[in-house]
Homo-oligomer: A and B are copies of this chain.
């Protein structure tokens, strides 16, 4: 079952060659989530062969142009392609007027519904929950209203081992108990322990998106236990003042956060246009957190299971 991230844009606000502005697509079990919507997203979706009609939910972190100016072309193109399926958008409350502008000016005859949910939580809250996944949103600390997102697989049901069914001649009722994680206690006094007859098909995977933000204490706590964290690293070490002033993060701050949150892997991006060489950021992070990977446009990352 897929849990795959594709980078659409890894630049910060100022345009640079060979990087687009912030956008990512996360495929969770065949459902496509769009995370942020920097300019040129629609072309990036074509370039990296993302099935754009399958995107059913959009998560917008904040309304700075480099995270949102691609929304107009994206929505227009979905319409030109004949979309009728509704599109859900989670975005801060100040996204409302942007959507209203688009709909009033370009939405005439739009054949699909846009379901917009404004974000306004003070701590992590579930915003989407399906049978197999849940998405949480939480506030970040940027100049304006900004949110991060955590995508988590739910704990799967236990699967019953085929050989156990034969060995113990398990009844349907007993199989049901095992699937719920219970032991089987038989009338003859014997017990079939769950751990002997059943297993978890997979360990839940999780991915967090954090851009743009200054580091803050609750962030580590909120991200604790997340397998893979994407975090902006707009600045390099020694640029802490610049980072604080612009409400962004430095490499070392982010690497320390990933270490303390117990992440398995750290992905970074949103590099300052003053130094768009991602390897410089990666090296600095690795001095604290070796499992750091600097992202480029088009990179595809398989989110690994939490237990190795």
Is A65 at the interface (CB under 8 A from chain B)? yes
Interface residues in A228-247 (C-beta closer than 8 Å to B): none
Stretch at the interface among A68-76, A148-156, A287-295: A68-76
Instruction: Report A306 CB to chain B, min CB distance, Å.
Output: 36
Say how many copies of this protein the assembly contains: 2
Instruction: Report A18 CB to chain B, min CB distance, Å.
Output: 8
* B70 lies within 8 A of A13 (CB): no
Residues on B with C-beta less than 8 A from A212 are none
* A46 lies within 8 A of B101 (CB): no
Q: How large is the interface on A (under 10, 10 to 19, 20 to 34, 35 or more residues)?
A: 20 to 34
* A15 lies within 8 A of B69 (CB): no
A14's partner among B65, B77, B97, B101 (CB-CB below 8 A) is: B77
A106's partner among B40, B65, B72 (CB-CB below 8 A) is: B65
Residues on B with C-beta less than 8 A from A39 are 39-40, 42-43, 69-70, 72-73
Residues on B with C-beta less than 8 A from A63 are 105
Residues on B with C-beta less than 8 A from A81 are 14
Is A17 at the interface (CB under 8 A from chain B)? yes
**Complex Cα distance A252/B4, Å?**
47
Binary flags per residue of A40-51, CB closer than 8 Å to B gives 1, else 0: 101101110000
Is A164 at the interface (CB under 8 A from chain B)? no
**Complex Cα distance A106/B47, Å?**
29
* B69 lies within 8 A of A14 (CB): no
* A47 lies within 8 A of B17 (CB): yes
* A69 lies within 8 A of B73 (CB): yes
* B42 lies within 8 A of A17 (CB): no
* B43 lies within 8 A of A80 (CB): no
| A65-B106, A106-B65 known; A15 vs B72 contact (CB < 8 Å) | no
**Complex Cα distance A57/B65, Å?**
22
Binary flags per residue of A10-25, CB closer than 8 Å to B gives 1, else 0: 0001111100110000
* A17 lies within 8 A of B40 (CB): no
Most buried by B among A16, A17, A39, A47: A39
Is A203 at the interface (CB under 8 A from chain B)? no
Binary flags per residue of A59-102, CB closer than 8 Å to B gives 1, else 0: 00001011001101100110011000000000000000110010
A43's partner among B40, B45, B65, B77 (CB-CB below 8 A) is: B40
| 9 closest cross-chain pairs (CB), A and B | A40-B40, A15-B43, A15-B42, A101-B101, A65-B76, A39-B73, A15-B46, A69-B72, A69-B73
A-B contact pairs, 19 of them (CB 8 A): A13-B77, A13-B80, A14-B81, A15-B45, A15-B73, A15-B77, A16-B46, A17-B46, A17-B47, A20-B40, A39-B39, A39-B40, A39-B69, A39-B70, A40-B43, A65-B76, A65-B106, A97-B105, A101-B105
